[in-house]
Structure formats: structure tokens, C-alpha cells
Structure 1
Amino acid sequence: MKKEWIALWAVIAIVVLTGGGVLIWWLARSPETSKGYGDIKQHAAFVPIRDVGEMFYWYYPTTETSYPRPLIVWLHGVTDVPPSLAANIGAFGPYDRHLNRRNDSWVEDYNLLFIDAPLGTGFSRLVNRGPHRPTSSQSNAEHLALTLKAFFEDHEELSEVPVYVIGQGHGGQLAAALAVRLQQDDTAHIAKNLKGIGLGNPVIDPRLTLTKMSFYLKQLAYINHGFTFTDFFPIWLEEALEAVQPGAGFDFYAQIGELVNEDGATDINLRNVIDKATRVSPETSTGLSGNQKQLRVLAQPDEELVAFMNEEVAAALGVSGNYDEGRQEVVDNFKNSYLNSAVPLVEEILQNTKLTVTIYNGNLDAISSTPGQLEWVNSLKWDGQEEFLNSRRNQVYVNDILEGSVRETDRLKFYWVNAAGQSVPVDSPVAMRRILQSIAGY
């Protein structure tokens, strides 16, 4: 008992001298949590980012114990529901929101690490609004690197497993920035184990990708032929950016769902065009047609899901805070950088590292349409580009069903995914499994 009191007073003394930061660090990096969402082994924790806030991660070791399996690090980003909710509970984590155990969870084959990034999204907390707050994919990559460093220090059993970082939507830009950051300065000490990245319907060059939105929607007969708003949208966006108004350009971009639906004859969910919204009557309309929760580019959890994360998940994990409460502030912080091209990051990875890059795109996503994605993919500058462009495009069958097609070389792969919108894991889990096997080799 005397030794325990001495240790306690030592900790208190350190806290007094450091203003509490060390104690927060020690508590956040406790190797195990006593609570969990469901009975499966898991570890949820906060990693303090000095002078900024706390990054939240949620880790599940694979249930496959016969031999080591890769670690999948999953990211979303600024304009999507955080991975702790959307990817984990909503898609391929071990439990759904009703605590039913999934029989097709990825945890059966992979170690899974979900990180709510940037700070201020999901359970991650943005505390200091000063100059160190994340405002770009590059500054966010610094925070992710520190998070991974703390994670691997707590999970030394993973020190030799292959690591793959996969980002969906804007998370694809975060994944590319993180991969470059780790190669340049491996704060997390995982560069030797990082084998590749996956980019799912990624926001890599949104300005270039949007130049094909009009063509895409016209070919599907969602809007009429002839000049429409969607033809001029990329031009107006460029004019805003050339006038050094990137924030205004982002605001314009964020309203694209409402604006396109005002322009056309059909209400469209631009994240998945087969999922039509319901037109409201003229008497009750506010001037914006359709289900606005589906039509906005910025996807946030609704009040019911926020309450679920605050009341059930937070209590199960033993964490506090108001879920996703900092989202609008994060969006404001990223407005000036969101529309910047991340193509140089992808080219840096392909040209100057040995990492693989796997891009997959659901063909029902109008914002990041496949024709638009191919505008930048087919123009990448690296030594293997000619081989990639000359490679054969092969069909992908799973259980005799055509799930899409792929063009691939050893370093770069591009998957066309049939009957899927922005979230391929949700819309086409069978195709996603095949893509995962291609990325991670399992």
C-alpha cells in the first residue's frame, strides 16, 4: 500500500509540474479498456495531440488467430460520417447498431483500426483553436502519424504485420497524405510495414473530377441534353478559386446536390444515383427539392444516430463528449484546402516508394464519377504509367456474378465497381471483399 501511495503522489507531482498533460497522455494510452461495445476483444482510446486536441481510435484484433493477419487502417475525412459510426457500426465492424454480431465482418480476416479524423469529427476532440489546428490533409497527416505511434506502442504484437491504409471519399486524400508523411519522416515507425493504400471513390482532384459530372448525368438521362447548370458548375468553381476565394468555392461545391436537383427534372442522391429522393410538394417546398439529408455533399449523422453514439456507444466504451460536435468547425478549417489536388501525393507514392495504390470507384457516384476519376488516374506521371494504360481491362466475377472490372499492374490498380455508390463496402460488400484481397493479399 505504501508503494502505491508513493506512485500516486509521484503521478500527482508530475501533473502539477506539467499542467495535467502527462496524466491525460497516460490515461489515454492505457493498453486495454475495461468496457466495450459487445463482447469481442477491442481497444478504444484517445491520443493527445499537443496543443490541439485528442484523436480517437477504435481497434479490433482479428478473430483469426492461426497466423498473423494484416492491419487495415480506415479513414473517412471532412465530408463523410466518421468511421467509428459509418464504417465500423454501419458497414463491416463486428457489431451493428443493435449489437447484433455480423457474420461477415472484416475482423474475421483482418485487424481493424478505425480513426476519427480530422480532430473534431466523431469522438475526436478539437480543443485548441490556435495555429496548430488541422487545416489540410498534410497537417492532419501529422496528427495521424502521432496517433499511429501511440497505437503501435500500445500494441507491440502488431509490430511486424503488414499495414494498409484505406480512405473513402475525402479519407482517400488523408490516406495519401499519411503515406507520404510516413515515408518522409516515420514518426510512427511503421514505414517498413506499410505496404499500400486503398482509395475508395476518393476526393483526389475534385475540380477535375467534376468536369465529367454533366456528361455522366446526361448519359444516364438524369438531366436533359443541352447546356445546363452542371455544364457551367466547374467553370464557376474555377472562377471562385482563381479569385482567391477557396472558401466560397467550397461552399458552392457543398451545395451541388441542391443546385443540380433544381436544374434537372429528377431528384437525385448524387452519392448513389439509383437511390432517388422524394420530391416535396410546391406548397411545402422551401425552394430545395428532395430529401436534403441525402442531397448535400456534406454527410453528417442525423440526430438519432448522434444520440445513439452519445448514449449507447460512448457509455459502452466509457468515453465522454458530444459525438461529431466539432464537424462544422472542421469543415470551416478545411474550406481553403479541400478542393486542392492531391494528385502530386499519389504520384509521389508511385514514383518514389514501393507502396501499392489501389483505387476503386462505385459507378453510381455522380460527384466522384468514374469518368471524372479517370481524368486524373489516366494522366498520372510516374514511370509505370504507360504499362498501366496499356494493360488489359479484365472483368471481375465473384460467384459467377459480374461485380465490375479492373486494370492493374504490380503497383497501380483501378477497379470499376458495378451497382455501387460512394460507399462500396455498403453497396457491394462482395466486390469489396475481392478488392480487399487484392490490396492485402488475403
Structure 2
Amino acid sequence: MVSGNINKIGDMLVREGAHMFWWLHYTIAETPNVTDRPLILWLQGGPGSSSTGYGNFEILGPYDLNMEKRDFTWIKTHNVLFVDNPVGTGFSYVEHIKYLTKDNKQIAEDLVELLRGFYEALPEFKSVPLHIFGESYGGKMAIEFAHELYHEIENGNIESNLVTVAMGDAWISPIDSTLSWAPYLFQLGFVDEDGYERINNYALRTKRALDEGKYFQATDLWAQTEEVLLGYNMGVDFYNVLYDTRFSSSEDNAKQLFHHSPHSIAYDVMVKRKRINIGDESDDEYTDPLTRMMRDEVHPALGLSDDVKFGSQSSAVFDTLGGDFMKPVVSIVEHLLNNTSVKVVVYSGQLDLICSTPGTVKWVNEMNWVGSKDYANAPRDGIGINNVLEGYVRKYGNFSMYWINKAGHMAPFDNPRCMGYILRQVTNFG
């Protein structure tokens, strides 16, 4: 069932004890050579969420979780390379926990090694335009990966046609996202004045810890902010505030939250991507339909070793990056804009909470780069598709930002029409 769609897969040793898994879907576009179409490298978030799992089967790959063909799959027009990153995520793994990545720079270095090995296996892709797309924490990883890759290309250490880095609903300035939660929920009516104050107070405590360089504490306080938020809004979906969630009274919600630590809630939201109330599912990860499918169906169809167990190290990945989790990477976005020719793209679904549009707009508007003033004065144009307003765009030079209507965190899934427009604008195909 899955095997007819394998195309190419690889398990690569990126450094001692660290194995990274990739899955390439060739485009199905009618073209003489697949290399006539661009290559998109997709990075999922978390950290610890699988690109070959979530990105592939839940967002933009050729098949959905029911193994039904997806009409808006990106492989209709592009080659798509899904990478399970960081090591320990999805089908990627480490031989010992000591080999897990500790920070974003090491993640970027591993990805450069992955791409180096990918080009050795498929050298025909070296000259193909490369567009790196990262969602959520994947956006944070993508920007540093693009930065590291650009300099490796400049130094002649790798041959690659890097064109774009795109950050979708991305964890670029985590504190700006966190500080936006209380006003965003209050303005939409999900919390009252008391809820606003409680959530905002925890967000401010998170900021103080971050400002003082207490990075692990900042991550813990961020997780506590999530817990308070869930307690007050009775289970609004972090990924799309208009998704249906099971109703739970404030009293029931408090009981459910009592049995879950802030850390476990954070892991459920960021890595396991639960879309329903905490406590609604068994704690057994095997009850997750995606995990079950990846282990029972995809694993044997791909012919992977029995030593590899999908997602078994994801929790360790999330924990190990706790000291890096809340650190911003805005300076790296600025560096690419000020010193390279790489196109930098930001897109944001208006209904996302975890990386809300207000938080994204704040760090974008406060960036210090050569085109800052011109970008601020550039027109914000509407995106009309079949006479329907699907979003907005503002651009200047190598930078562009897209607002996507009717979409949350997983914008390509929620509004494929607008995302298709963005793909065409960014890659000239679609």
C-alpha cells in the first residue's frame, strides 16, 4: 500500500552514533526529467515531530492517514524531501542518548551533513533549486540550517543551489509568541480578564527568566504558561483556535491538568500534536493513529531494520533541547537578509495560537536589516484566488511575509489554495 510510493529513502550517519532518515518523493508533474522541478526540503517542528510522519501523511504528502490520495499534495508540482530531524526523531535515531543534539547550531550542522550525503546518493539534485521549508520549531531549525549551508557553499565545501528558506508559523522568537497568547485569546473571547491576567503573568515570568539567561527555567515557565492557558480556556486548540475540541468544564479541566505535569503537556502539544483536551487520550503513545501506522505499516513497507522504532526517542529529543528551546534566532534571519542573496519567506496562519500571527508580526517588524524601512513602507497586498480573499502579502527585496486566512499552524493543510499561491510565488512552479 505504501510501497508503491516509496521513491527514495536513506538512513545516513551524520556523525558518530547519530543516524538521520530521509524520504524523497519525486514530483509526479508531467516533465521530461524530475530534476526540471525544484526540490523542497521539509522540516517538521517539536522538536521531535517527524517530517516523514506528520509532514508527509498529515500535511502535504501524496497520501493521508487513511491512505487516500491527497488532492493538494506538493509532489504534484515539486520534488519533496522529508527529513526526520533532529536525530532521534521519527525513523532517525542515536545509538546512545549522549549523541542527541544540544542546540540549534548542532542541528544545522547535522542537516548539512545529511544534505551532503543526499547529494552523494543523488548527484543530479546538486544543481536543482533548493527551497528549505520549516514549520513551527522546524522554522527555527530551517533558518540556522540555511545559514550554515550558505557558508558551506561559499567556502566550496558543498555544491548546492540554495534559493529560499521559508518559515511557516515558526518558533523564531519564542517569547514574542508566548507574550501574544493572553491578548490574542482575550480579543477572540476565549478568556476573560482574569484569564488574561493569569496567562500574561506567567508569560512575563517566562520573559524574566529568559532575559536573565536562565534558559531551562524559561522553558519550564513556558510550559507552565501553557498549563494555565489550557486551564482557563477549557481546551482551545493550540494549532487552530477554530478547530472543534471536546467540551470540558473548568472543574473537569482542572482535574485533568492535575494529573499531567507542565512538561508532559508541553510535549503533548509540541511533539505529539494532540488536538483535543489533555486527558482525552490514553498516555500510551501507541494509541496515536500516526504512530501506529508508521510502526505497523510504513516501517515494514520501507524495509527498515527492526532496531529502529518510530518516535521512540522523541521525548528525549525534546528534553535534551530544553536549554535551547526558548532562545530566539531572529539575528540569524537578519544575517541572511543583510549578507546573502537567499530569499527569506515568513508565512503565518491567522488562526494559529502556538506561533500566533501577532507574535510573528512583532519580531518581523522589529528586525534590523538593510531593507527594514522600505519593507515597513511597502504595500500590503491582498491575495485573491477565484475572487476569494485568501490572505495578504508584504515584500521588499529578498524578504516577504504572507498572512494566510482561514488557516492555523498547519497552513498548507488548512488553506491549500493560499499555500499553493505562495509556493508558486516562491519557487516559480505550482
Same fold flag (TM > 0.5) = yes
Distance in 1, matches of 2:373 and 2:210, equals 32
Equivalent residue for 1:246, pick from 204, 210, 215: 215
Q: Which runs of 4+ in 1 moved over 4 A?
A: 281-285, 289-296
Specify the alignment match of 1:365 in structure 2: 352
Which of 114, 129, 144 is residue 177 of structure 1 equivalent to? 144
Aligned to 2:203: 234
TM-score (norm 1): 0.85
Partner of 2:320: 333
1:415 to partner: Cα distance:
0.8
Residue aligning to 1:82: 50
Partners of 2:381 and 2:212 lie apart in 1 by 44
The unaligned stretches of length 5 or more in structure 2 are 274-284
How does 1:89-104 map onto structure 2 within 5 Å? 89-104=57-72
Residue of 298, 313, 316 corresponding to 2:298: 313
Superposed, which structure 2 residues align to 1:336-351 within 5 Å?
336-351=323-338
Q: Distance in 2 between matches of 1:285 and 1:77?
A: 28
Q: CA–CA distance in 2 between the matches of 1:162 and 1:75? A: 17
2:18 and 2:390 map into 1 onto residues whose CA distance is 42
- Distance in structure 2 (CA, Å) of the matches to 1:190 and 1:400: 43
1:258 matches 2:224: no
State how far apart, in whole Å, the 2-side matches of 1:372 and 1:75 are: 21
Q: Deviations over 1:50-75 (max 9, x none)?
A: 22310000001112223500000000
CA distance 1:59–1:421, shift in 2 (3 Å): same
Letter in 1 for 2:26: P
Percent of aligned positions that are identical: 28
Q: Sort the Cα spacing of 1:419 and 1:406 in 2 relative to 1 into closer, same or farther, 3 A.
A: same
The equivalent residue for 1:148 is: 115
- CA drift of 1:41 comes to 5.6
Residues 107-142 of structure 1 deviation map (CA, whole Å, 9 limit, x = unaligned): 111011000000111110022333x53111110011
Alignment check: 8 A CA contact 2:59 2:410 kept:
no
Task: Tell me if the contact between 1:267 and 1:290 (Cα under 8 Å) persists in the aligned partners.
Answer: no
CA drift of 1:294 comes to 10
1:255 CA drift (Å): 4.3
Larger Rg: 1
Q: Structure 1's 188 and 99: CA in aligned 2 closer, same or farther, altered over 3 A?
A: farther
Distance 1:159 1:284 in 2: 52
SS at structure 2 position matched to 1:194: strand
The aligned length equals 404
* Partner amino acid, structure 2, of 1:182: L
Which has the bigger relative contact order, CA under 8 A and spacing at least 6? 2
- Within the alignment, does 1:66 sit opposite 2:55 as a pair? no
Match of 2:409 in 1: 422
Q: Is the 8 A contact 2:406 2:414 kept in 1?
A: yes
What corresponds to 2:8 in structure 1? 43
Q: State the secondary structure of the residue aligned to 1:63.
A: coil
TM-score (norm 2): 0.88
2:47–2:317 CA contact under 8 A, matched in 1: no
- Deviation larger for 100-109 or 278-287: 278-287
Aligned to 1:107: 75
Deviation per CA, 1:132-186: give whole Å up to 9, x if none.
Answer: 5311111001110010011011112212210000000000011100111012223
Residue in structure 2 matched with residue 376 of structure 1 by the alignment: 363
CA–CA separation in structure 2 for the residues paired with 1:99 and 1:271: 23
Q: Aligned pair 1:55/2:20, yes or no? A: yes
Q: In 2, Cα distance between the equivalents of 1:273 and 1:168? A: 18
Q: Tell me if structure 2 keeps the 8 A contact 1:254–1:298.
A: no
Aligned position for 1:407: 394
Residue identity in the other structure for 1:59: L
- State the distance in 2 between where 1:143 and 1:439 align: 26
Q: 1:416 to 1:289 in 2, by over 3 A?
A: farther
Report the AA paired with residue 236 of structure 1: R
Deviation, 1:286, is 2.3
Give the stretch that moved more between structures: 266-275 or 324-333: 266-275
For residues 66-102 of structure 1, the C-alpha deviation after alignment (integer angstroms, 9 at most, x for no partner) is 3500000000133463111111112221222333333
For 1:32, the equivalent position in structure 2 comes to none
Aligned to 2:81, the other structure's residue is in SS state strand
Q: In the superposition, relative to structure 1, how do residues 112 and 290 fare at CA in structure 2: closer, same or farther (>3 Å)?
A: farther
**Aligned residue in 1 for 2:270:** 298
Segment drifting more, 365-374 vs 108-117: 365-374
Q: 1:371 deviation in Å?
A: 1.1
Deviates more, 1:242-251 or 1:414-423: 242-251
Measure how far apart 1:209 and its partner are: 2.6
- Cα distance in 2, alignment partners of residues 84 and 402 from structure 1: 32
